[in-house]
Amino acid sequence: MNDRVPPGQHLVSNFPVLHVGPVPPFDAQTWRLRLFGLLQEERSYTYAEITSGTLFPHTTVQADFHCVTTWSKLDSTWEGIKCIDLLAQVRLQPEVQYIMAHCAYGYTTNIPLTERLSETLFALPQRDQAASLR
């Protein structure tokens, strides 16, 4: 096995579709990224604003992906917006320690501000996946 694959993981050649419930329909016209909570001012961005590359620089990285469900995909290319660039648009209050992501079906996850946010990416659909969103 490859030394980049953690113990207990297995390699896959594509991304398995894992979702808590059916994948909700996607409508680029109504989709919003909303930044709210302990910050100076709430912000909301459309899909066009996020994907245009005009408001936020897009970054491309190549990285290994290790899923908690025991699969790994090596050398995945990701494009998106660095979390640090999103956070630069809002002023966090001093007591903020975590960022919380709210998703479909009430799923949430948090990211400590102590993480390397300059390396954390708000990933956009990979080129081969973009057509399947519509």
- Show pLDDT as tens, one digit a residue, over the chain (134 residues): 689 999 999 999 888 877 778 888 889 999 999 999 999 989 999 999 999 989 999 999 898 989 989 999 999 888 999 988 988 888 899 999 999 999 888 889 898 988 877 788 888 876 555 444 44
Give the pLDDT confidence score for residue 133 in this predicted structure.
43
The model carries a pTM of 0.78
Cβ–Cβ < 8 Å for 86, 35: yes
CA distance 43 to 29: 17
What pLDDT score does 124 carry? Answer: 86
CA distance 39 to 42: 7
Q: What is the DSSP letter of 66?
A: E
